[in-house]
Amino acid sequence: MISDKSLEKCQHCGTSSVLVESEVVIRIKELLQPNFKTLGTAVTVNGNRYHPICPSCDSYALGLDLVEAFPVLTQSGKITTVHELEKS
């Protein structure tokens, strides 16, 4: 489980934030050129750099409109996509 209080909820909508690896954020910026609303400062989790982001407010940036969305890490430690989060 991810244990950083700043990652818990989106300040805009109250949705639980997810983490996106820094390398994935670079790919997102190159491919989609999104205007991130909630992209946070990178944090280190298990030796990897991640950015907190709201999967609701920034669903487009996470690949909602793509056939294969970008991977995200939930607060429970599960790797998933925005598509799977939308289903739950």
Give tens-digit pLDDT for 47-60.
999 999 999 999 99
SS3 53: strand
What residues does 18 pair with on adjacent strands? 53
Q: Which two tokens stand for residue 36?
A: 């991130």
Kindly report the pTM of this predicted structure.
0.89
User: What contacts 24+ positions apart, CB below 8 Å, involve 22-26?
Assistant: 22/48, 22/49, 22/50, 22/51, 24/70, 24/71, 25/51
Give tens-digit pLDDT for 9-23.
999 999 999 999 999
